[in-house]
Amino acid sequence: MSVLVRLRTPVVASVLGLAILALGLSALGYDAFSALTALARGAIGSWYAFTSATLVRAVPLIVIGLGIAISFRAGGLNIGAEGQFSAGAMAATAVGLVVGRWPGFVAIPVVLIAGTLAGAAWVVVPVVLRLRYRVQEVISTLLLNFVAEALVSFMVQGPLQESKRTYPQSDPIAVAARLPLLPGTRLHLGFALAVLLAGLVGIVFSRTIWGFRLKVVGAAPRAAEVTGRMDVDRTTALALLWSGAFAGLAGALEVAGVTYALFLNLSPGYGFTAIAVALIARLNPIGILFAGLGFGALEAGAAGMQRDAGVPAVAVSVVQATIIVVALLAVARARLARPEAAA
Amino acid sequence: MSRVLELESISKRFGSVAALESVSFDLVLGEVHGLLGENGAGKSTLMHVAFGMIAADAGRVIVRGVPTRFRSPRDAKRLGVGMVHQHFTSVPEMTVAENLWLAAGRYGAEAGRRSDSSTVTTAGSRLRRRLWEGLAPNDIVSSLPVGAKQRLEILQALAVGGDILLLDEPTAVLAPQETSELLALLRDFANGGGAVVLITHKLTEVFSIVDRVTVLRAGRVQSTGPVAGQTVSGLTAAMVGTADREPTVETSDSLGPVLARVDGLAVRGREVVGVAAIEGNGQRDLLRRMAGVLPAAGAEVIEPVAFIPEDRSTEGLIPALSLTENWVLGLAGDARWRRGPLLDWRAAEARMDQVLGEYSIRAGGPQAPAGTLSGGNQQKLIFARALEAAPRVIVAENPTRGLDVHATWFVQERLRRAAAAGAAVVVYSSDLDEVLSLATRLVVISRRRVLQVPPGASREAIGAMMIGATS
């Protein structure tokens, strides 16, 4: 598929989504033009807006989206990235609070690894339930999101609460554990890591036996077992653990690069938006990079729209929803058009 | 004798395969009519036509003297035809009563209720009362023993109230005791004025309760008539065909060493062992254990082993993936494209391209999805892949099913050549003709036991071993 053909669906979807948003805003009596201008300004209006709003929001979407792509490719439907993100954020905070005496090049990796491991650990229960009792991970991972939310709530009012004991939030993590920023912006090193990971996952998918196994196990488990002699359960389980690890890493990056502390509702639904990001990109890692940027821009623009035009930020969900629907329709159409096997 | 069900010159094709060719069949009140035949002979298809599940390409269905067109099983049920399928159709999570309501649809008034035993008049309700023994309306189906589930299936078939009962191998899942109880019930149903068609493989059942027997072979009626005066060997011959060609069972003194051994089946180099068996006797598991697809404790098999699964599109190939990807699926360890964890897709694609030429596989190139190939070309691809690793042992499951004459010849020739080159080849086919024409040695698998077929055994003797008539 040429680049132009690949870009057709997302471009059409975005234009359509923005048009529907404009129509809706006009119908409700808002000034659609100034609202959309505010949206654009908030996302790409200045270098600062682009780096500090759009790119910063794109980081968790890209990193989580890559993990989602790994699990979906293998047929494991992990929709609990939101909870795994929180688990990663909690672990990163807990570790980040105690590494103050260490140099940054040690403290930062330790914090990120803690988050990654915690994210993977949050998927262990769904994986065990799937392997032992054939419990659908769609349900178990989703339900664990609520457990994670409750656990964060407990942490910020208990063990991890700030030393003043006033607000339900943690103390700021040690300076040594914070990610370096691009001078003059709030863009942290996590963005470079996200780009690197996208390239890495792209290579794993297209050039390694492990990437091929994921694809085969997801596409046809019977053939994977009988002809490919693959261990389907093991492959799916590993894919699920990796997707949790990516979401946990995203949580750690958010704490170490953006908030420096743990509090409730740290994520504005990154774990769910990232599923849309991965699906729109058809689980292609480079596509996820760009889809993550696009959705990051929408999230950043939404904040600008609320600030400058008085339009509630949630209105931008209309655009996101339209993009998702159009993208799914395009996938469905491609599937219908494909010639089926002559049995 | 009143004919309640007549099928006149029924023909049905599935794609290029003729499942039924001008088959006529009739059923009279008061009889149990046995329908015999090998796998794929057309027994189930014929009864599906009688039950309105399949529309025949040609021919007429006449119920109680009136020509009818069934658009669906609902029409058949309305005319008093009920069917018990090969597999359970009840919903395991629901109660007996709920399943009966489901089965009755909008015609069943009395479904789900025990019929009143005080006024037993028709065969149907008398049978129904006996079928209810051991069942309660509120039992959850999944908690019932197998025999009770099978009785529920019959109750479901009769839920609308009917006197024509079609049963597709109803005893396959039953223990001997349950089988004889069920057969007695069916006999009683027929004696009371019902009519029963019993599809079966088992000749003992035929001789114990059947009045008339019809034998199908390859979609045609081989014989039909009263069971009295028939013999086991006569029926077997009708099922598997008369010996127009003697089985090529021979022993060769140039055999190689034993290359594969599992569960009493040992295969030497340079021989083609044909496995004859009736579906459900454990032959598939045995073959898959030998091929290493299923775990097998105590199996001794020399690698590499190639396995040709029967189901090309779900086990042998992935239709949505490209030919090259399907090639690598079975050859992921080949050093030409595998370096540690890395795959060199260009090298794999170059080899795939060569193979397309070597095996004359008609395809749009190595990038084409495997699903775009015809069945014959898919099987060529599977064979090319299997032979690429120079296997010492080749295990094939119905390797020519659904293939045309040319592709069938190709597959059989490749298997013979592989054996001639020193490989140990095992072929299971549900088509006895294929087994006989390919095999240098024959075994029968019956009830999970491997039986050696003596050299020179007749077709009838083989058939008798398959159905367990001799032990």
Query: How far is B316 from chain A, CA to nearest CA, in Å?
Result: 6
One domain, residues B226 and B374: no
pLDDT at B471: 45
Tens-place pLDDT, residues B353-375: 999 999 988 888 999 999 888 88
One domain, residues B425 and B383: no
Mean pLDDT in residue range B23-28:
94
One domain, residues B276 and B266: yes
pLDDT at B110: 47
**Average pLDDT, whole number, for chain B?**
85
Which chain A residues have a beta carbon less than 8 Å from that of B287?
none
**Residue B330 counted as domain residue:** yes
Which chain A residues have a beta carbon less than 8 Å from that of B345?
206-207
Which chain B residues have a beta carbon less than 8 Å from that of A341?
313, 319, 370-372
**Average pLDDT, whole number, for chain A?**
91
Tens-place pLDDT, residues B92-110: 889 888 888 888 776 554 4
Residue of A nearest to B333 (CA): A209
Q: Residues 355..384 of B with a Cβ closer than 8 Å to A: which?
A: 369-375
**Residue B312 counted as domain residue:** no
Res. B114 pLDDT band, cuts 50 70 90: very low
Contact B309 A228 (CB under 8 A): no
Q: What is the 3-state secondary structure (H, E, C) of chain A?
A: CCHHHHHHHHHHHHHHHHHHHHHHHHHCCCCHHHHHHHHHHHHHCCHHHHHHHHHHHHHHHHHHHHHHHHHHHCCCCCCCHHHHHHHHHHHHHHHHCCCCCCCHHHHHHHHHHHHHHHHHHCCHHHHHHHHHHCCCHHHHHHHHHHHHHHHHHHHHHCCCCCCCCCCCECCCCCHHHCCCECCCCCCECHHHHHHHHHHHHHHHHHHEHHHHHHHHHHHCHHHHHHCCCCCHHHHHHHHHHHHHHHHHHHHHHHHHHHHCCCECCCCCCHHHHHHHHHHHCCCCHHHHHHHHHHHHHHHHHHHHHHHHHCCCHHHHHHHHHHHHHHHHHHHHHHHHHCCCCCC
What residue ranges do the domains of chain A occupy?
A: 3-337
Which chain A residues have a beta carbon less than 8 Å from that of B314?
220, 222-223
One domain, residues B190 and B248: no
Q: Among B389, B413, B428, which residue terminates a domain?
A: B389
Q: Would an 8 Å CB–CB cutoff place A172 in contact with chain B?
A: no
Nearest to B309 among A226, A338, A340 (CB): A226
Tokens of A63: 């990193």
One domain, residues B98 and B184: yes
> By the 8 A CB rule, do A9 and A327 touch?
yes
One domain, residues B404 and B433: yes
pLDDT at B249: 40
One domain, residues B119 and B235: yes
Q: Among B389, B415, B436, which residue terminates a domain?
A: B389
Least confident of A90-94, A218-222, B77-81: B77-81
Tens-place pLDDT, residues B438-459: 899 999 998 889 999 988 888 7
Mean pLDDT in residue range A302-316:
87
Which chain A residues have a beta carbon less than 8 Å from that of B381?
none
Which chain A residues have a beta carbon less than 8 Å from that of B362?
none
Tens-place pLDDT, residues A211-236: 999 999 999 999 999 999 999 999 99
**Residue B284 counted as domain residue:** yes
Q: Would an 8 Å CB–CB cutoff place B330 in contact with chain A?
A: yes
In this model, does residue A199 exceed pLDDT 70? yes
| CATH code, domain with B415 | 3.40.50.300
**Residue B431 counted as domain residue:** yes
Residue of A nearest to B312 (CA): A343
Q: Among B210, B240, B270, which residue terminates a domain?
A: B240
CA A194 to chain centre: 11
Contact A208 B330 (CB under 8 A): no
In this model, does residue A255 exceed pLDDT 90? yes
Q: Per the structure, how many domains does chain B have? A: 3
**Residue B310 counted as domain residue:** no
- Residue B240 or residue B442, greater confidence: B442
Which chain A residues have a beta carbon less than 8 Å from that of B369?
338-339
Residue of A nearest to B288 (CA): A226
One domain, residues B158 and B267: no
One domain, residues B131 and B184: yes
Tell which of A206, A208, A226 to mutate to test the B interface (max B CBs under 10 Å).
A226
Query: How far is B373 from chain A, CA to nearest CA, in Å?
Result: 7
Residues spanned by the domain of B466: 243-304+390-471
Residue of B nearest to A203 (CA): B342
One domain, residues B184 and B254: no
Res. B161 pLDDT band, cuts 50 70 90: confident
Res. B281 pLDDT band, cuts 50 70 90: confident
Tokens of B448: 């999970």
pLDDT at B250: 43
Res. B243 pLDDT band, cuts 50 70 90: very low
Q: Residues 190..229 of B with a Cβ closer than 8 Å to A: which?
A: none
Tens-place pLDDT, residues A24-68: 889 988 888 999 999 999 999 999 999 999 999 999 999 999 999
**Residue B314 counted as domain residue:** no
One domain, residues B350 and B279: no
What is the DSSP code (8-state) at residue B16? T
Q: Would an 8 Å CB–CB cutoff place B307 in contact with chain A?
A: yes
> What is the complex's ipTM, to 2 decimals?
0.88
Q: State the fold for domain A3-337.
A: ABC transporter involved in vitamin B12 uptake, BtuC (1.10.3470)
Least confident of A79-83, A173-177, B290-294: B290-294
**Residue B309 counted as domain residue:** no
Residue of B nearest to A342 (CA): B374
Query: How far is B15 from chain A, CA to nearest CA, in Å?
Result: 10
Tens-place pLDDT, residues A234-249: 999 999 999 999 999 9
Which chain B residues have a beta carbon less than 8 Å from that of A219?
318, 320-321
Nearest to A216 among B307, B319, B329 (CB): B329
Q: Would an 8 Å CB–CB cutoff place B109 in contact with chain A?
A: no
Contact A207 B321 (CB under 8 A): no
Q: Phi and psi of B379, rounded to 5°?
A: -70, -35
Contact B332 A228 (CB under 8 A): yes
In this model, does residue B124 exceed pLDDT 90? no
Res. B1 pLDDT band, cuts 50 70 90: low
Query: How far is A3 from chain B, CA to nearest CA, in Å?
Result: 19
One domain, residues B166 and B282: no
Count of pairs with CB atoms under 8 A, one residue in A, one in B: 79
**Residue B67 counted as domain residue:** yes
Tens-place pLDDT, residues A115-169: 999 999 999 999 999 999 999 999 999 999 999 999 999 999 999 999 999 999 9
Contact A222 B341 (CB under 8 A): no
